[in-house]
Chain A
Amino acid sequence: MPEDRIAYHAPVGDEVAHTTCYMCACRCGIKVHLKDGKLRYIEGNRDHPINRGVLCAKGSAGIMSVTSPARLRAPLKRVGPRGAGEFEEIGWDEAMAIATARLAGIRASDPHRLAFFTGRDQSQSLTGHFARMFGTMNFAAHGGFCSVNMAAAGLYSVGGAFWEFGEPDWNHAKLFLLFGVAEDHDSNPIKLGLAKLKERGAKIVSVNPVRTGYSAIADEFVGITPGTDGLFIMALIHCLLAEGAVDTAFLVRYTNAHHLVIDVPGEADHGLFARDAEGAALAFDRKAGALARADATGTDPALLGTFTLPDGRRARPSFALLAERYAAAEYAPEAVEARCGIAATTIRRLAAEIAEIAFRQPVTIEQAWTDTDGRRHETMTGRPVAMHAMRGISAHSNGFHTCRALHVLQMLIGAVDTPGSWRYKSPHPKPIPPGPGPAGRAHDGRGALTGNVLGFPTSPEDLLVDDAGEPLRLDRAFSWEAPLGIHGMMHMAIAEAHAAGRARVDTLFLYMANMAWNSAMNPGETTRMLTDRDADGEYRIPFVIVADAFESETVAYADLVLPDTTYLERYDCISLLDRPIGSAHGPADAIRVPVLKPDRDVRPFQDVLIDLAGRLGLPDFAEAPGKPLYSSYADYMVRHQRKPGVGPLAGFRGADGTVFGRGEPNPEQISRYIANKGFARYDLPLEQLYYKHANRAYLTGAKEMGLIDDDSQIVLNLYSEHLQKFRLAAEGHGAVRPPERLRARVARFMDPLPIWYEPIEQTMTDMKQFPLHAITQRPMSMYHSWGSHNAWLRQIHSENRLYVHRDLAAAQGLEDDDWVEVVSRTGRLKCQIRIMDGVNPHTVWTWNAIGRRSGAVALAQDAPEAVRGFLLNHVISEYLPAGDDGARLSNSDPVTGQAAWFDLTVRLEPCEPETIAETQPRMAPVALTTKGAGQ
């Protein structure tokens, strides 16, 4: 019998490269093996700080995306009507000439008529700088659609944020609370962390309407009703206050809990901190029995009480306002249990568990450190209650305040950057907020905006509004509708460009944003707007440029298509100027390197953008039009300096390549990254690992490294004076005030302490007609719609069902696989159901972004993604119902402009048994037809 031949020792391949994954947003390090010049195997990079050798399904399937038939092959020029997908292949010279001429014309007249929006873009330090140098304020990435509530609430409360700027202390936490996290944000690090928690026997509690993913392995599942997390968190705070389970020592040292708030309703500084002549906030020192600077040491600051200021007015510690608010009966567990769908006894028990772990089982690390007041501490003691939160909190119109409530909870128990708690990921913490307000009003002599397009407003004067208080930006960010719209509002861009007309927007420039499909609040409306024409027959949105690597739904709506490479065919940098790969252990950044040569006429988008900037002669990119400063993105990564010594990459700087952080550009920098397996990392000394917001050695070092400009203590904002300034404007104070129609709204929502309110859309919807919450969850092996052309990933997910609680199904006479219509206030869709028990009984849900438009991404027109897949987006609107004045507000968080797509409510209508077994709506197929140049 022939022996089985086994090649035990066959080498994996003949070439190895280390680069950074981009099959989702996590930025894991990967080791790519090539054999005969072709991709053989992708595995996790065992040395990489993010994933330590592991790799998820998406990352391992990268090989199938790099060879996908959906890859664009050459620049395209539209030849048929917009949306028909009829294109002519053109060369890059022609493509760049078209783009340059168009953009040069805009820049010479009104640069804001360029609307530049990018998707899950990891080169925002470049794209944002391009927008600034071009001179348009109409730039943003996808954060307004995704998680700006988390970013803004964190940055305005603690100087960091969940996910991007913070992480749980996996090695010391004993209780881990996970809010609204299905899978992503982030993927492999959370899985690695959960494994560590499990190994140590820490308890994991998942607060989520749906019990899949991480919730499936949680020790306790809290099946909350969507949109009520804030109320639940405030009930926990209520219980902790009642029990006296509050870390008052932490509060007075590290937060503004003791700062005195002026309490004279009606006056222009009501609700602001009482300050001395130098502007320092005041507290009441019980030891001296007198007012003192809040930052003075050796004082015994009062946390409760009412005090008289030198001018005779009343003031109260901010903690007193907080305690009074959440001690109120409306936040008692019994008062919120019905609305949250969580038994009062459960809420009380969870509060007791938090108190038990925080105060009776603290973690102490034998490590001395010195605080910003110069006090030496012999140990680091922490409250080992860690929290993480994401989408389930973020995508609601009350998400900002809900997320802030979580940060308030962390501050109250002293669980911010202490052993066992949530920790900052470097380069955070940053000052609160981390930078100046947004630019947009003024151009400098070079035609560039005078600051970063996306900034951090701290008062009404920072808003981008006209004299009537109406938005200057196309997407309404930084207006009274969304004062802290720090990520922009991508979801409003097309709708508002359409509404505003040609005078306002000439060119819509989209990069890797599938805005005609799953990145649209409503794909049907969005595609109608993209193809709508004025009476003269011209398109209402005059010109659309799309840059993408694949034939997404949006490509068909472009006038000019700039084909991007895949992630394995280009340089890239995961920069400290954007969202790097730092961790609590220190700053780190990474690169992508081209592992493969493109086999088609495509160029890396970042190279194209730098080329375009050179042709346009943008400042910082060119000496003059046609005289570029940089030959490529790789060249820019090495030589560009944002401020002296600070560039896109922090590692291997200085003439000899030994500096991390601030240092001269090093021409050998990229080869040093390659030699170091694609990343650079700086490990903080042990004394800097915790209490970073008040750790003198850390803050001094971070300033030297260029991570922050100011090394003073970062006082955590339990109370947000910034928000109060906007509220005062709504109450009639100051020069910049909201328009009358928004006054009550601004006054209500810009509350300096977290509030809970019913999601806004639900207050304008007949909840008897649409009683069910409808949400999505991210499948573990599919990132948005990125994986649906991936031959392997689509064997795991190629269609989606609507999951319905067993009792709800019974009440509606539904059985597994029945077809239903899902009806919202704005639309209806048809899909198939599946019955499940592990879901909040008032909630239906489905997997996110499995459905594709027929013909998209080179799939067969009868692919299951199109025939049995669906998007909930079809029944969502970017607008709220019109008010009495006919004006339609954005369907977004009123503080940040975060798209509120989890506020959706629906009803189910069973279909007749003879219904055609296909999901609806089915938009016409979008297959591209191209003719080659010269044909």
Chain B
Amino acid sequence: MTSLPQSQPGARRLGLVIDLDTCVGCHACAVNCKEWNTEGHHAPLPDYDPHGADPDGVWFNRIHSYEAEGSGGCGKTVNFPRSCLHCENPLCVTVCPTGASYKRAEDGIVLVNTDICIGCKLCSWACPYGAREFDEHDGVMKKCTLCIDRIYNESLPEAEREPACVATCPSRARHFGDLADPESRVSKLVAERGGVDLMAELGYRPTNKYLPPRQTRIETRPVEMPASAPGGLGGALLALVDKVLSR
């Protein structure tokens, strides 16, 4: 079994804030993640039967679309991106018999050392979010690295040192930052928008947060029925057109 690191004062807790109010379910993050990571830290992300009857493969980020109860009895589609939440209390780490699954003290990222992973899959059974991905070819477990090979990468311009899923998101629904710092942009977003933990009741204390859908309304004056009989021009229009115009 693997221990969690001692918490360090001032340590960062890096993670994602995902806005369900703007996620349109386009899969951009999922595919760009796959593209980056298939030659990234956990390379490769294999594809099985890619042109055959049962196309499947390893993805660190998957998008699910659910229909929820909407207003007026009309269903509302909610798009839900799912990836590792880099929990504070990750059972996937503590169940690991070899120490391959580990949580980093300095930034809270949960990683797998595939050199010592024996492919027992205990971690994927322990993860309630289904965030772990087994590489059938290499027989090892893989997962979201929070783009560990991008976020500190000094060969990239500073603005690009963010996870691939965040950089590519067309509706800007994904945000990356330090959730341990209450002054960070992501922490403020969570505070302002009432960000939530996924299945908080399970006690895994995920780092990633989800922002719930909002609804914007426009207040109007009470709508009155038109002043004139149907078929004729309304008094309001006649009054308007009667005003002097200047061409």
Q: Taking beta carbons and an 8 Å cutoff, which residues of A are in contact with B?
A: 1-12, 35, 40-44, 46, 51, 53-61, 63, 69, 174-175, 183, 187-188, 191-192, 194-195, 198-199, 201-204, 211-217, 219, 221, 223, 239, 241-244, 246, 248-249, 252-253, 258, 283, 286-287, 296-301, 303-304, 319, 323-324, 327-329, 332, 348-349, 351-353, 355-357, 780-781, 789, 791-796, 798, 836-839, 858-860, 862-864, 867
Quick one: closest B residue to A343, CB to CB? B72
Q: Does B233 contact A211, Cβ atoms closer than 8 Å?
A: no
Q: Does A789 contact B51, Cβ atoms closer than 8 Å?
A: yes
**Residue numbers in A under 8 Å from B21 (CB-CB):** 198, 217
Q: How far is the CA of A195 from the CA of B53 in the complex (A)?
A: 37
Q: How far is the CA of A99 from the CA of B76 in the complex (A)?
A: 54
Q: Does B25 contact A53, Cβ atoms closer than 8 Å?
A: no
Contact with A along B48-89 (1 / 0, CB 8 A): 001111111101000001010110011111110000000000
Q: How far is the CA of A798 from the CA of B47 in the complex (A)?
A: 14
**Residue numbers in A under 8 Å from B241 (CB-CB):** 248, 303-304, 319
A2-B115, A348-B223, A795-B59 given. 7 additional CB < 8 A pairs? A8-B148, A54-B167, A55-B170, A174-B218, A214-B24, A287-B244, A792-B31
Quick one: closest B residue to A221, CB to CB? B74
Q: A356: which of B59, B168, B220, B227 is its contact (CB, 8 Å)?
A: B220
Q: Which of B10-18, B33-41, B179-187, B196-204 lies at the binding interface?
A: B33-41
Quick one: closest B residue to A285, CB to CB? B247
Q: B31: which of A69, A199, A781 is its contact (CB, 8 Å)?
A: A781
Q: Does B148 contact A198, Cβ atoms closer than 8 Å?
A: no
Q: A213: which of B24, B59, B216 is its contact (CB, 8 Å)?
A: B24
**Residue numbers in B under 8 Å from A63 (CB-CB):** 35
Query: How far apart are A706's CB and chain B's nearest CB, in angstroms?
Result: 31
A-B contact pairs, 22 of them (CB 8 A): A4-B115, A6-B149, A42-B35, A44-B167, A56-B168, A69-B51, A212-B65, A213-B25, A216-B78, A221-B76, A242-B228, A244-B239, A300-B245, A300-B246, A328-B231, A781-B27, A791-B51, A794-B50, A837-B75, A838-B67, A838-B70, A858-B51
Q: How far is the CA of A42 from the CA of B31 in the complex (A)?
A: 11
Q: How far is the CA of A55 from the CA of B238 in the complex (A)?
A: 51
Query: How far apart are A798's CB and chain B's nearest CB, in angstroms?
Result: 6
Q: B149: which of A8, A60, A862 is its contact (CB, 8 Å)?
A: A8
Q: Taking beta carbons and an 8 Å cutoff, which residues of B are in contact with A?
A: 21-28, 30-32, 34-36, 39, 41, 47, 50-57, 59, 65, 67, 69-70, 73-79, 99, 102, 111, 113, 115-116, 148-149, 152-156, 159-160, 164, 167-173, 213-221, 223, 226-228, 230-234, 236-241, 243-247
Q: How far is the CA of A611 from the CA of B244 in the complex (A)?
A: 64
Quick one: closest B residue to A238, CB to CB? B226
Q: Does B24 contact A188, Cβ atoms closer than 8 Å?
A: no
Query: How far apart are A45's CB and chain B's nearest CB, in angstroms?
Result: 12
**Residue numbers in B under 8 Å from A201 (CB-CB):** 216
Q: Does B34 contact A327, Cβ atoms closer than 8 Å?
A: no
Quick one: closest A residue to B56, CB to CB? A795
Query: How far apart are B75's CB and chain A's nearest CB, in angstroms?
Result: 3
Q: How far is the CA of A837 from the CA of B77 in the complex (A)?
A: 9
Q: Does A60 contact B155, Cβ atoms closer than 8 Å?
A: no
**Residue numbers in B under 8 Å from A55 (CB-CB):** 28, 32, 168, 170
Q: Does B35 contact A219, Cβ atoms closer than 8 Å?
A: no
**Residue numbers in B under 8 Å from A219 (CB-CB):** 214-217
Query: How far apart are A734's CB and chain B's nearest CB, in angstroms?
Result: 32
Q: A258: which of B115, B171, B243, B247 is its contact (CB, 8 Å)?
A: B247
Q: B247: which of A188, A252, A304, A798 is its contact (CB, 8 Å)?
A: A252
Q: Does A298 contact B39, Cβ atoms closer than 8 Å?
A: no
Interface centre among A12, A214, A299 (most CB of B within 10 A): A12
Majority secondary structure, B binding face: loop
Quick one: closest A residue to B77, CB to CB? A216
Query: How far apart are B170's CB and chain A's nearest CB, in angstroms?
Result: 4
Q: How far is the CA of A793 from the CA of B57 in the complex (A)?
A: 11
Query: How far apart are A180's CB and chain B's nearest CB, in angstroms?
Result: 16
Q: How far is the CA of A532 from the CA of B147 in the complex (A)?
A: 56
Q: Does A198 contact B22, Cβ atoms closer than 8 Å?
A: yes
Q: A301: which of B75, B156, B164, B247 is its contact (CB, 8 Å)?
A: B247
Q: How far is the CA of A192 from the CA of B169 in the complex (A)?
A: 9
Q: Does B226 contact A243, Cβ atoms closer than 8 Å?
A: yes
Q: Does B216 contact A202, Cβ atoms closer than 8 Å?
A: yes
Given contacts A44-B168, A244-B237, are A60 and B230 in contact (CB under 8 A)? Answer: no
Q: Does A863 contact B53, Cβ atoms closer than 8 Å?
A: yes
Q: Does B35 contact A60, Cβ atoms closer than 8 Å?
A: yes
**Residue numbers in A under 8 Å from B32 (CB-CB):** 43, 55, 57, 60
**Residue numbers in B under 8 Å from A216 (CB-CB):** 24-25, 65, 76-79
Q: How far is the CA of A420 from the CA of B195 in the complex (A)?
A: 30
Q: Does B220 contact A352, Cβ atoms closer than 8 Å?
A: yes
**Residue numbers in B under 8 Å from A9 (CB-CB):** 152-155
**Residue numbers in B under 8 Å from A299 (CB-CB):** 246-247
**Residue numbers in A under 8 Å from B59 (CB-CB):** 795
Query: How far apart are A8's CB and chain B's nearest CB, in angstroms?
Result: 5
Quick one: closest A residue to B69, CB to CB? A837
**Residue numbers in B under 8 Å from A195 (CB-CB):** 22, 170-173
**Residue numbers in B under 8 Å from A357 (CB-CB):** 218
**Residue numbers in A under 8 Å from B148 (CB-CB):** 6, 8
**Residue numbers in A under 8 Å from B54 (CB-CB):** 864
Q: A43: which of B26, B167, B247 is its contact (CB, 8 Å)?
A: B167
Q: Does A860 contact B53, Cβ atoms closer than 8 Å?
A: yes
Quick one: closest B residue to A859, CB to CB? B51
Q: Does A244 contact B240, Cβ atoms closer than 8 Å?
A: yes
Q: Does B234 contact A253, Cβ atoms closer than 8 Å?
A: no
Query: How far apart are B93's CB and chain A's nearest CB, in angstroms?
Result: 13
Query: How far apart are A164's CB and chain B's nearest CB, in angstroms?
Result: 19
Q: How far is the CA of A838 from the CA of B111 in the complex (A)?
A: 39
Interface centre among B74, B102, B238 (most CB of A within 10 A): B74
Given contacts A192-B170, A301-B247, A864-B53, are A781 and B74 in contact (CB under 8 A)? Answer: no
**Residue numbers in A under 8 Å from B226 (CB-CB):** 239, 242-243
Q: Does A860 contact B245, Cβ atoms closer than 8 Å?
A: no
Q: A241: which of B164, B220, B237 is its contact (CB, 8 Å)?
A: B237
Q: How far is the CA of A54 from the CA of B154 in the complex (A)?
A: 21
**Residue numbers in B under 8 Å from A214 (CB-CB):** 24
Q: Does A217 contact B22, Cβ atoms closer than 8 Å?
A: yes
Quick one: closest B residue to A361, CB to CB? B218
**Residue numbers in B under 8 Å from A303 (CB-CB):** 241, 245
**Residue numbers in B under 8 Å from A838 (CB-CB):** 67, 70, 74-77
Q: How far is the CA of A798 from the CA of B55 in the complex (A)?
A: 8
Q: Does B221 contact A352, Cβ atoms closer than 8 Å?
A: yes
Q: Does A246 contact B171, Cβ atoms closer than 8 Å?
A: no
**Residue numbers in A under 8 Å from B56 (CB-CB):** 795
Q: B218: which of A332, A356, A781 is its contact (CB, 8 Å)?
A: A356
Query: How far apart are A152's CB and chain B's nearest CB, in angstroms?
Result: 29
Query: How far apart are A325's CB and chain B's nearest CB, in angstroms?
Result: 11
Q: Does B75 contact A203, Cβ atoms closer than 8 Å?
A: no
Q: How far is the CA of A863 from the CA of B53 in the complex (A)?
A: 4
Given contacts A188-B170, A355-B220, A781-B26, are A862 and B53 in contact (CB under 8 A)? Answer: yes
Given contacts A191-B170, A329-B230, A838-B70, are A203 and B217 in contact (CB under 8 A)? Answer: yes
Q: B24: which of A58, A249, A301, A780 is its contact (CB, 8 Å)?
A: A780
Q: Does B173 contact A61, Cβ atoms closer than 8 Å?
A: no
Quick one: closest B residue to A203, CB to CB? B216
Q: How far is the CA of A793 from the CA of B55 in the complex (A)?
A: 10
Q: Does A242 contact B237, Cβ atoms closer than 8 Å?
A: yes
Q: Does A249 contact B228, Cβ atoms closer than 8 Å?
A: no
Query: How far apart are A277's CB and chain B's nearest CB, in angstroms?
Result: 21
**Residue numbers in A under 8 Å from B30 (CB-CB):** 57, 796
Q: How far is the CA of A46 from the CA of B160 in the complex (A)?
A: 10
Query: How far apart are A778's CB and chain B's nearest CB, in angstroms?
Result: 11
Query: How far apart are B84's CB and chain A's nearest CB, in angstroms?
Result: 15
Quick one: closest B residue to A194, CB to CB? B171
**Residue numbers in B under 8 Å from A839 (CB-CB):** 75
Q: Does A211 contact B75, Cβ atoms closer than 8 Å?
A: yes
Query: How far apart are A171's CB and chain B's nearest CB, in angstroms?
Result: 14
**Residue numbers in B under 8 Å from A859 (CB-CB):** 51-52
